[in-house]
Chain A
Amino acid sequence: MSRENKPRALYLHVPFCRSICFYCDFTHRVYRGEDADRWLKALEKELSAKEIRRDLTTMYIGGGTPTSLTAAQLERLLTLLDPYTGSLQEFTVEINPETLDEEKAAILKAHGVNRASIGFQTADEKLLKMMGRRHSFKDVGNCVSLLKDAGIGNLSLDLMYSLPEQTMAGLKKDIEAALSLAPKHLSLYSLIIEDNTVFGKKGYTPLDEETEADMYEYICRVLPEKGYRQYEISNFAVPGYESRHNLVYWHYEDFYGISAGASGKEDHCRYDNTASLKEYLQDPLKKEITPLSKEDEMFETVMMGLRLKAGISMSAFQDRYGISFSEAFSGKAAALLRKGVLVAEGDMLRCAGDHYHLLNSVLSDLL
C-alpha cells in the first residue's frame, strides 16, 4: 500500500478502568498496575511492528479509561506516541472526571493533547450511583478547571439520557449543568441496555419509547438554541469544534486501531484486535480481519454518512466507487427520493427532516 493511502487517523484503546460502569460493553478490565505495565510493553511492540505514518491528522485515545493509568504510565504511553503526533490537528483523550489530577493534565498538555472528552453522563447523583459511576457533578467541574488551567480548552462532554427512572425535568437539569461548564462540544447518547452489561444482567429496562423520543426531540431543539449545532445523530458542537477524528468514521475513511479491543480499517479490510488482554500481551498483533467488498463499503459509506446532518457527498461517492449513489442503490434509492425520505441538495444527499430520527428504517430500506 502506498504511503498516501495509509490512514491519517489513529484510535488507541486503553482497556482499563478503575471501576466498571453498569451500561458499558466496551473492552475493559479493572485497572491493576502490573497489567498496565505489561500492556505498555505489548503496545510498544505493536506500534513498532505496524508501519504507522507519522503525519497523522487526528488521534483519539479512548477506552476503558485512559486516565485510569498512573501519571508515570500515562507519560510512558504518550511518549510511545510522540513520533506520530507532530502534525496532529486534533488529539483527543477520553477522561473520567475522578481519575484526572493536575499532574496528569500537565502530562497530556505536554504531549500535545488538545482536546478532551469528559464522561459527564448525568448530574443526578442518584442516577450516577445507579450506573456504577464514582464521580459527582462537582468532580466534572474540577476536571474541567484542571484541563483549562493546563491549557486544554477544547472540551467535550458525554451525556446519557433515557436512563432508568430519569425524568424530562432531570434531563433539562443535566443539560443546564453541562452548559454551565461551557464545553465546545456535546455528545448525548440514549441508554442502550446490552445483554452483556451489568444493567442487562440486572434486568434494567430503558424508558418507554415515547419519553425517549420526547427527550431526543427536546435535545435536538434546545441545544442549537444555545449555540450547539447538531452535526450528527448524537453530536452537537459550537461551529468549528466538530470532532475531526469522529468525522473520519462518519466519512468512512480509514483509521488505525491500536491495542486490545480496538478496531481499525485499512486497505478495504476491517480488523478487530483481540479483546482479551491476556492474548494481547502474548501477541499484540493478534486480530480478526474482515475483507470488505465494494458492496459492503458502499452500504457502510451510506450507513455512516447519513448519520451526519449534512449527509454524504454524491461526487465523493462517485469518485470513490466509480458508480453513482442512485446506480449503486438502484430502485431503492429512487423510491426513497421519490417519497421524500432522502433529499438531494446540490452535491449532498441527506435524510429529510423527520426521517433523520428514523435513520435505521431508512438504512434497512437501502440494505
Chain B
Amino acid sequence: MDKLWLIIKREYLTRVKRRSFILATLLTPLAMGLFIVVITVIFSYESDDTKRIAIVDEGKILAGNIASDGNIFFRKMDTDLETLKQNLPQEDYNGILYLPPVADVLDNNYEIYFYSDEKLTLDLEPVILRGVSRALREYKINALSLDKRQLEALDTDIELEPRPITAAAENNTGKLASKIAAAMGFVMGFVMYLTVFIYGMMVMRSVMEEKTNRIVEVMISSVKPFQLMMGKIIGVGAVGLTQLAIWLILFPVILVISSLFFGVDPSQMEAPAGAGQIDPEETQAMVTQIMAEISNLNWWVIIPLFVAYFLGGYFIYASLFAAVGSAMGDDLGEGQSLTIPITIPVLLAFYIMIATVEAPNSSLAVWSSIFPLFSPIVMAARIPYDPPAWQLLVSILLLIGTAIGLVWLSGRIYRIGILMYGKKTSLKELVRWLFVKM
C-alpha cells in the first residue's frame, strides 16, 4: 500500500509540476474566454463606414423619413430622380432609393430601386427593406381603411407551456428545463469523451515511455507490476480530476471577468448575430431564468454521479490503454493498430451520446447507458434528464464490475507486456498472455 501511494504521488506530482501542465490548465480557459470575447466583438462590430442615402418617394409612401440605423442615414428629397442622379457626385450621397407609385394596393409585390455605383452591402439591404416594409404597411392600412387594432389581433404569439401531472415531476418539465438539460447533457457527455481519451492516452504513452526507457525492469524489482500500473492509472486520473476541478472554477471566473471588462454578456453567446434585436430587459429576464433552471438541477446528485461515471469510464479505458501500451514496442506507429479496438467503443459511445441528447429515453439511449463500455459517456448525457433510479443502479453496478474486471485483465497483460522487448505483438498474443503463469 505504501509503495502504491509512493507511485501515485510520483505520477501525480511529476505531471502537475510540469510547466506544460500548468500552462495548459491555466491557458485553456483563458484562451476560451479570449475566443468568446473576440467572437462577440467581431459580431457586435458596427461599421464605422457612414452611409447617406437619398430617397425619391414618388409613390408618396413614406409618411415621414426612414429612421436612420447606426451609421446609415436617410434623407427624403424633393428633386426628381434624373436630376438627383446627375447631382449625386457633388451631393455626397452613397446612393438613391427610388420608391415608385403603388399600382395596386392588393398586390403583394412591390419593386423598389437602389441607384448607386457602389455595391449594395449586406448591412444596408436589411435596413432599407425593414424601413420600406414598415412604411408600406402603414400606407396600405390607410389606403384600404383597415382597423389597425383588428389587424394586430391577427398576429398571435403562441406559447407552449409544459405542465407536470404529478407533483414529483414539478422541477423537470419546465419550459427551459429540457433545453438546459440537453445542453448540460451534451457538455457532460463531451467532457467525459474528451477526458477518457486524453487521460487514457496519457497513461498509454507513459507506460510505453517506461518500457522504452528500460526503467520498468528496475521498478518491478521493487514493486509488483500491478502496483506500478495502478499507481500510474490512479496518479494520472488524479491529474485529470485536478485539471477538471480547476477548469470548473476558472471558466465561470473568466466569463465573469470578461463580461466585466469587455461588456460581453455571456448570455448573448448563443445568438451573437441576433443579439442586437433582443430587448435588453428580455435578455436579463432570460438569464435569470436560465440561472434559476441551472440551480434547479439537482447538483448534489449530478456531480457525484458525474464523478462516479468519470472514474468508472476512466478506469476501464485507462487500464485497457495501459495494457496496450505495455504490449507496444519502441515504435508508436507499429502498435497503433492495437489501440483500434479501444477507440471504437469510445467513438461509438460519443455518437450515441449525441443521439441521446435528442431522445434521452429512446431504447438506444437507455440500453447504451447501461452497457458499461458506453455508459460513462452516454449516461453522462442522460443524468440531467433524471433517469429512473433502477437504470442508474444497474448501470453503476455493471460499470463497477466491468471496471474491476478489466483492470484485472489489463494487469495480466501488462505484467507480461512490460518485460517483452523487440517483438511485434498481435491481438491474439495479448489474449494468450491473459492465461500465462508468471
Say if A and B assemble together.
no
**Which residues of B does A touch, CB under 8 Å?**
none
